[in-house]
């Protein structure tokens, strides 16, 4: 669902109509982009949707870690290793 012009709300409008905006966001699942001095500054979204976004972000991080672990195991199987001395020399420690 994309944000349309009716979903862009100035900060002063948001202050005046916060209860109504919250009800609309919760009921319709819409999102509101709040602007300040003509630029975006915040978004109003349903709390369940925010939880969903956070779960997706954690899953993305976990997938990245798994990919790195697989790469490390692949390198290990291929013999692409180095000693601690080589590692320290490479990184100047």
Mind listing the pLDDT tens digit of every residue in the chain (93 residues)? 678 888 999 999 999 999 999 999 999 988 999 999 999 999 999 999 999 999 999 999 999 999 999 999 999 999 999 999 999 999 987
Q: How far apart are CA 13 and CA 44, in angstroms?
A: 13
- The DSSP letter of residue 8 is E
DSSP-derived 3-state class of residue 34: strand
Global pTM reads: 0.67
- The DSSP letter of residue 35 is E
Answer whether CATH 1.25.40.10 is correct for domain 5-45.
Answer: no
Q: How far apart are CA 18 and CA 12, in angstroms?
A: 10
User: Would you state the pLDDT for residue 3?
Assistant: 80
Structure tokens at 44: 């109003």
User: Would you state the pLDDT for residue 92?
Assistant: 82
Bridge partners for 80 per DSSP: none
Structure tokens at 12: 């002063």
């Amino acid at each position: 669902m994309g944000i349309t012009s009716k979903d862009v709300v100035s900060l002063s409008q948001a202050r005046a109509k916060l209860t109504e905006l919250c009800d609309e966001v919760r009921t319709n699942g819409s999102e509101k982009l709040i602007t300040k001095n003509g630029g975006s500054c915040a978004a109003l979204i349903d709390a369940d949707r925010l939880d969903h976004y956070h779960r997706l972000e954690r899953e993305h991080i976990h997938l990245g870690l798994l990919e790195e672990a697989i790469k490390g195991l692949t390198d290990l199987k291929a013999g692409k290793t180095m000693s601690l001395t080589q590692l320290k020399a490479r990184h100047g420690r």
